[in-house]
Structure 1
Amino acid sequence: MPLTRERLVPFIVAVALFMENMDSTVIATALPAIAADIGTSPIELKLAVTSYLLALAIFIPVSGWMADRFGARTIFRTAIVVFVAGSVLCAVSGALWHFVLARFLQGMGGAMMSPVGRLVLIRAVDKSKLVDAMALVTLPALIGPLLGPPLGGFLTTYASWHWIFFINVPIGIIGFVLVTKFVDNVKAEVPDPFDTVGMALVALGIGGLAFGSTVISVRVVPLAASLTLLAVGAAATFAYVLYARRAPAPVIDLSLLALPTFRAGVAGGFVFRVGAGALPFLMPLLLQIGFGMTPFESGMVTFATAFGAMVMKTLVPRILRRFGFRATMSVNALLAAGTIAACGLFVPGTPVWVMIAVLLTGGLFRSLQFTSVNTIAFADVEPRRMSRATSLASVSQQLSVSTGVTVGALALETAMAVRGDAALTAAAFPPAFATIGLIAAASLVFFLRMPADAGAELARRKGDRSAQD
């Protein structure tokens, strides 16, 4: 088949996703080494993880408007440049706050990449083919997480953690060239006016709540400052909810949550990701600090999770056509949560093959859940509201992962305090894994409330069969 622009664009978008996904998994494996080199602790270094996700959550809402106003190609190329610049600054950081700010810059670049690609996909693909498209277009991006843990561990163990950021430079250059050559600079004929007030309230709300909840437990700022951040975040969030009810074009359209399928995909997906999002943060710490593995050994073990995710991507369409969205997402939420909690049963004497088996199985279930919630959210969204829907879904997704990292770290700190431990040991991890597993399981409530035939058109199921599930 000839390589047309239509065939190439999804893979060009995947270049950006490749950088983002590989970067997030590479840094998780290298956290202990980075912390030791810049003079901080791995738990305090969660600020860098949170700052990246926080930047995504804050700047994703404006990315759709920027693409409509300035064109998709312009925003894509700018995003790649900003992301690569942040990567270089991460590599040359010598202190915690330098690293945190550099990761925030990376997040700004990442915020402009993913939503634009998702929006292009949703607008270009018929709903009856959306499940297959979602599963197919994310396969190249999964190469990042697949390579991330072993590559990050190898570079950290045998070279230097700095190289995990420098590798984004050649990838970014390739992406920049491909975007310039093959992506059209499509703009909206009449873009919505920019919601300045709404954007300010969203930034204050998300920033205050997410960052305040992170710094309150690591004592890098005074307690009063942490409480102030939380109070400002809560007040701004409440103010935005009131404001969005009367705004003609709010930057985050909360009225979309009235749709049962969108609410299940976004709200249920948020709760599930809070639990699942803590796993990449906790597992490398357990394997390296708790079990004494090298970063490379740790990366080779966690490699199994991404491999399981890749395998499941090819099976998702068939599973959803056979069982439907509601049944699949409800049962699978419990199965995925069980594999998360099972990681708390790992002890220093646990055979490596057992850990790999659990992580691989967990990767299968979590991949199925992620693809399902990402797809069902757009089942009943009207085309004219699709841009706002992708913005809200992307903000929720990124904020949930940030919350998961905070919850996972808080669970570790609580376990250490209860045990009276001065240093992090393997004994603190079982309660943490149990906590995030229970949180992931709680997402079941949202999935059970979906209609029985939810997403029948997306899964290409017959109406009479859907109604029976």
Structure 2
Amino acid sequence: MDKPAYVSDPVDVNTCEAQPAEPQLPATSRFLPMAMASALFMDLLDTSALGAALPTLARQFHTTPLQLKFALTAYLMTMAVFVPASGWLADRFGPRRVFVNAVKIYLLGSLCCGLSTSVTTLVAARVLQGIGGAMMTPVARLIVVATTPRERLVHAMNAFTMPAVVGPLLGPPLAGLLLEVANWRWIFFINLPVGLVGIFAVLRFVPRLRHVHPGRFDWIGFVLAALTIMTVVTLSETVGTGLLSVKGQIILLVAGLTFGTAFVLHALRTAVPMLDLRLLSKSTYRASMIGGSLMRFSISAMPFLLPLLFQIGLGWSPVRAGLVMTGMMLGSILARFGGTFAIRLVGFRKALVVTAFFTAGATMIPAAFRDSTSAIFIVTTLIAGGFFRAAHFVASSALAFADVAPEDVSRASTLSAVIQQISLGFGISLAGLTLYISAGETGRLTVSNFTWSFVVLGAVTLLSIPVYLGLDRNAGASMRDRRESLIR
């Protein structure tokens, strides 16, 4: 069994203080994935619920749903900017301490979101949420990976990512229900009890993890990475929308390329960079990052597009739209039972290729949804899409760390989180761009305006297949040696 780079101290559950002992994994380690998953649950529940509530919020703030998507992308951009600091902070002050304080910041941001009175204050509150989320989600993943033996990592990631899948899929029906019986503000207020329970679970089950001092903070790398991310995401949000002149877009493009080039050169020359790009030399990690990013375009865009299609295009109520979208949740839950078995049976490479292909198909099919489309067909399509997306990320999440050395887990987790947030933001931006172009000068959305959005997203998903085909047939084999651990 590989020894983790972090060493745990047993926790006295009465005082929550570390007690001297020989380095070992805590007896409560089986509860760690679920305890840490509260972060992902809140994070993705909010994003998907907000997407489902966009038509209502647009009426409340007297704007359009396409303009309100900035509340989604502002959060993702903030996450991507501040995530690089999470690994260093976790190494310097301890993952548990950083995680608990991050949840507190996130809950404060949730409270501010619920009290917002305009688009500007909502976006500002989402930025505050993003700062907390940036320290919360990647540190949660880091704790799970650092305290789990390699032969049980697939099982642990399966448990860890289950609430992360259920969260965004519960978002739409929950938003619909809250919009009917209360108001949109409760979409954010509901985070408060969830976050408090999560803090209690972490203090009870998560050990204090000790790590060698990470060294000086890479301020140059942090600033260059932040400037690169902000210019690139801002550019993706404004291309084709008329919000910024062509000259302004060219300036952003040149600035982004300049900052990005400077960051890459700095990262490759620095012994301990903010984001260690050298990790991409590992084929399994690189394939998971590139292929997973292409897959995440649809992961983030579907909870944005489907509520708009159902509520604006087909004229459904928020409750009906939310209930239908639970089909995706059912598919995801089924994948959790079958995903690890598929890896054991056919291996990572084939599982990733097959699930990517069927995910692309399930992403394109909603392009054909119309008023006359059978509800059974719609639900079946969403179940299939949820199943293949979830099965894909069971394999992808575990494969990313298959060949990562224990001492590199923190840096690998940080880089993975940054890439994830950027790709999620790009997915929403691409969906918004295709809708904006399709709607034309009127800006009025009809059911036919959504066709190309789903087709384009499905095509982007297909681009991940060549990435996975480049993997060795035995990629991740070391994680399949103890097969019984995959199906417990």
Q: TM-score, normalised by structure 1?
A: 0.93
Relative to 1, partners in 2 of residues 1:90 and 1:230: Cα closer, same or farther, differing over 3 Å?
farther
Larger deviation, residues 289-298 vs 166-175: 166-175
Q: Which runs of 5+ in 1 are unaligned?
A: 463-469
Partner deviation per Cα, 1:110-156 (whole Å, 9 max, x = no partner): 11112112112212222222111111232244442343221111111
3-state SS of the aligned residue for 1:349?
coil
Q: Which residue of 1 aligns with 2:478?
A: 457
Partner deviation per Cα, 1:373-407 (whole Å, 9 max, x = no partner): 11111111111211111111111111111000000
Larger deviation, residues 44-53 vs 149-158: 149-158
Identify which of 218, 232, 236 aligns with 1:209: 232
Relative to 1, partners in 2 of residues 1:320 and 1:461: Cα closer, same or farther, differing over 3 Å?
farther
Are 1:428 and 2:449 matched, yes or no?
A: yes
3-state SS of the aligned residue for 1:245?
helix
Letter in 2 for 1:55: T
Superposition pairs for residues 234-273 of structure 1, below 5 Å?
234-273=257-296
Q: Which residue of 2 aligns with 1:296?
A: 319
Q: Which residue of 1 aligns with 2:74?
A: 51
Decide whether the 8 Å contact of 2:48 with 2:304 is kept in 1: no
3-state SS of the aligned residue for 1:315?
helix
Q: Which residue of 1 aligns with 2:52?
A: 29
Decide whether the 8 Å contact of 1:273 with 1:401 is kept in 2: yes
Larger deviation, residues 429-438 vs 206-215: 206-215
Superposition pairs for residues 429-448 of structure 1, below 5 Å?
429-448=450-469
Q: How many matched pairs?
A: 458
Superposition pairs for residues 10-159 of structure 1, below 5 Å?
10-159=33-182
Deviation of 1:223 (Å): 5.8
Decide whether the 8 Å contact of 2:175 with 2:318 is kept in 1: yes
Decide whether the 8 Å contact of 2:332 with 2:387 is kept in 1: yes
Letter in 2 for 1:276: I
Deviation of 1:5 (Å): 3.3
Decide whether the 8 Å contact of 2:29 with 2:148 is kept in 1: no
Letter in 1 for 2:103: I
Q: TM-score, normalised by structure 2?
A: 0.90
Deviation of 1:4 (Å): 5.1
C-alpha distance in 2 between matches for 1:141 and 1:272: 16
Decide whether the 8 Å contact of 2:77 with 2:422 is kept in 1: yes
C-alpha distance in 1 between matches for 2:240 and 2:180: 30
Equivalent pairs: percent with the same residue? 37
Q: Which residue of 2 aligns with 1:310?
A: 333
Larger deviation, residues 17-26 vs 221-230: 221-230
Identify which of 400, 416, 422 aligns with 2:423: 400
Q: Which residue of 2 aligns with 1:331?
A: 354
Q: Which runs of 5+ in 2 are unaligned?
A: 1-25, 484-488
Identify which of 418, 435, 438 aligns with 1:415: 438
Deviation of 1:187 (Å): 3.8
Are 1:173 and 2:196 matched, yes or no?
A: yes
Q: Which residue of 2 aligns with 1:467?
A: none
Decide whether the 8 Å contact of 1:381 with 1:389 is kept in 2: yes
Deviation of 1:422 (Å): 4.0
Identify which of 375, 384, 391 aligns with 2:414: 391
Runs (4+) of structure 1 exceeding 6 A deviation are: none
Partner deviation per Cα, 1:76-127 (whole Å, 9 max, x = no partner): 1211111111111111222222111111111111111121121122122222
Deviation of 1:177 (Å): 2.9
3-state SS of the aligned residue for 1:186?
strand
Letter in 2 for 1:432: S
Relative to 1, partners in 2 of residues 1:332 and 1:183: Cα closer, same or farther, differing over 3 Å?
closer
Letter in 2 for 1:335: F
**What CA RMSD, in Å, does the superposition of the two structures yield over aligned residues?**
1.9
Q: Which residue of 2 aligns with 1:466?
A: none
Are 1:358 and 2:381 matched, yes or no?
A: yes
